[in-house]
Amino acid sequence: MRLTVIGTGYVGAVHAACMADIGHEVLGVDVDAERIAALATGRPPFFEPGLSAMLKGAVEAGRLRFTTSPAEAARFADTHFVCVGTPQDPRSGAADLRYVEAVVDGLAFHLRDSEYERVLVVGTSTVPVGTADRLTDRLHAAAPDAEIAWNPEFLREGCAVQDTLRPERIVAGFRSEHAEARLREVYAPLLAAGTPFIRTDLATAELVKLASNSFLATKISFINAMAEICDATGADVLTLAEAMGADSRIGPRFLAPGLGFGGSCLPKDIRAFVARAEELGRGESVAFLRQVDEINTRQRSRTVDLAQELVGGSFADRSVAVLGAAFKPCSDDVRDSPALAVADAVRRRGAQVRVHDPEAVDNARAAYPALQFALDVAKACEQADVVLHLTEWPQYRELDPAALAAVVRTPAIVDARNTLDPVAWRSAGWTLRAPGRPRLG
């Protein structure tokens, strides 16, 4: 079938490529002409494992093309996926819906002359509950026969292709059997492979993503709060997390103590959830999420303080190497990156900072031009007084601590992600500090 995907950022570009890969004819739409030009040649404008080959294959096969024209999109198909962002409003913390609204308004305008009898607009963006109802009213003002459904995405950057083609579930909120049938047709190959299809109303579909992300954020902040208690008592947070995770009611995933979460989803989503709950008069129901947010933010200052302790109490005239710039491994996304927040805080305290990352250096340099960057680990660590391990790229776990000790001025490291082997590093002469761990070296 024919589909459009409106918005070709992290979610939209992956969704468009994957829908073409499973056999649909797809038109990707964006207002960014430069991005569209790159995608039209099969080049994704960001790093995502597996996407480049899939995108190029779909473009070359003729199943995927791109445009900047909303009118062309309205003519192309009767099913439109809205994949634009909902950034945080810096004043209120609420979700900024201007891009979603602009897409729906633009479609509504062009659908007035559509040859299709029934049009389905499918939202995937993370929005406050009640948004779909409001957008339906806007859509119906110009296109009375069009319908809105909500199909939240659950993609993890670094695993987005896999998460699209082999999702743990597909959640779809709608009002009609027609919308359900259309979505089941879209996802037919995935459903045939056994993916659960959870049908629901619009409000529940909108809530699922926010509730899920809030739960995951809470789990991360909980174990980081336990790391603070472990620091005060001499207990080991990794053993604590292992013992907790062995309980089937809790499970081990997201019990990873360290620098905390960042990126474009979890931080803004929990703040938007709180803002919407307060609008509904139910702010007390999710008030704990403010503490979740505070605990997460505190991990950054705790990491800076730990590094400052290792350099003798002051960063003045000190050289600091930072391993990691992306907010998570297997991505070049630096939005709300804890690693870069720490690097910049260290710089502002007087240190000379050099940052390395396997994929995110260009984006990091654009976001933090005052920092210095290096394209290899040894250069970043040259004559460093302390090394900060801030993004858990697998390449960093494979480093030879003895070889790196010969490069730095002082063999001292903060493992803010708790993923390095402390025995190997200590045996190579390093002093290692990690949140919630007994002191090593």
Domain residue extents for the chain: 2-200, 209-293, 298-433
pTM attached to this predicted model: 0.93
**CATH fold of 2-200:** Rossmann fold (3.40.50)
Distances (CA, A) of 261 to 115, 126, 223, 338, 387: 46, 18, 12, 7, 20
231 Cβ contact partners less than 8 Å away, ≥ 6 residues apart: 435, 436
pLDDT of residue 441: 52
Q: Which pLDDT tens digit goes with each residue over 244-279?
A: 999 999 999 999 999 999 998 999 999 999 999 999
Secondary-structure percent of the chain, ordered helix, strand, coil, rounded to 5: 45, 15, 40
pLDDT of residue 440: 55
> How, if at all, do strands 197-200 and 319-323 pair?
unpaired
pLDDT of residue 160: 96
Instruction: Give catalytic status of residue 159 as yes or no.
Output: no
Q: Using CA atoms, how far apart are residues 130 and 107, in angstroms rounded to an integer?
A: 20
> Residue 353 forms beta bridges with which residues?
320
> Could you give the residue ranges of the DSSP H alpha helices within 141-172?
160-165
Q: Which pLDDT tens digit goes with each residue over 177-199?
A: 999 999 999 999 999 999 999 99
CATH 3.40.640.10 fits 209-293, yes or no: no
Q: Rounded to the nearest 5°, which phi and psi values hold at 196?
A: -65, 140
18, 83, 230, 265: which one is catalytic? Answer: 265
Residue with tokens 């994949």: 83
**CATH fold of 298-433:** Rossmann fold (3.40.50)
pLDDT of residue 113: 76
Same fold, 2-200 and 209-293: no
Q: Using CA atoms, how far apart are residues 138 and 192, in angstroms rounded to an integer?
A: 35
Q: Note whether 260 and 300 are within 8 A (CB).
A: yes
The parts of the chain modelled with pLDDT lower than 50 are none
Q: Note whether 127 and 151 are within 8 A (CB).
A: no
Strand order in the sheet with 197-200: 64-67, 25-29, 2-6, 79-82, 120-123, 147-150, 170-173, 197-200
Q: Using CA atoms, how far apart are residues 436 and 238, in angstroms rounded to an integer?
A: 8
